[in-house]
Amino acid sequence: MKRLSWDQYFMAQSHLLASRSTCTRLVVGATIVRDKRIIAGGYNGSIAGGPHCTDEGCYIVDGHCVRTIHAEMNAILQCAKFGEPTDGAEIYVTHYPCIQCCKAIIQAGIKSVYFAKDYKNDPYAEELYKAAKVNVKKVPFDNFFELKMMGNVTQ
């Protein structure tokens, strides 16, 4: 039986989380992992109980939607809320993290960032990751479910 690699497994989880996004501009999911165990997940959307962009439209200020909180931040804050340490953890994200999420990832002590798609990759974020000794790796996402339905994965 062919199984998903750990990277593909956690990236698949991030894509599943992204399906909950209420952002109309970009759908993003993030999964935080420590010792091959999922400790938190997040997707981009409004704060809990707040109006969603899918319902009321984006709230744009200086070219950015301020209604939305990013998937990476949601996952990190979920760890804070439930007392789950992030020091030394890994994060799997559907898209390259923005500069603000980059800084939060570093401050949270996350040591590896895996992303599936490039998205406005900021050169300063790359500098910050390097200085903080955070491993950053592109892990393209192969949709396991589509492959299985097409008969390309054996059971």
pLDDT digits (tens, 9 = 90+) for 36-70: 999 999 999 999 999 999 999 999 999 889 999 99
Predicted pLDDT at 23: 92
Q: Which domain holds residue 56?
A: 7-33+41-151
Predicted pLDDT at 2: 78
Asked whether residue 1 is domain-assigned, the answer is no
Asked whether residue 84 is domain-assigned, the answer is yes
Q: How many CB atoms lie within 10 A of CB 30?
A: 31
- What is the number of structural domains in the chain? 1
Predicted pLDDT at 103: 98
Is 70 marked within a binding site? yes
Domain CATH code at residue 91: 3.40.140.10
Strands 135-138 and 112-117, by their bridges, are parallel
Asked whether residue 2 is domain-assigned, the answer is no
**Mean pLDDT score of the chain, rounded to an integer?**
92
Is 53 marked within a binding site? no
List, by residue number, the catalytic residues.
72
Predicted pLDDT at 155: 37
Asked whether residue 65 is domain-assigned, the answer is yes
pLDDT digits (tens, 9 = 90+) for 92-114: 999 999 999 999 999 999 999 99
Query: How many helices, marked H, and strands, marked E, lie in the chain?
Result: 6, 7
Give the mean pLDDT of 138-149: 71
Cα 28 from Cα 18, distance rounded (Å): 5
Is 23 marked within a binding site? no
Cα 122 from Cα 128, distance rounded (Å): 10
Give CA angle at 139 (134, 142), nearest 5°: 160
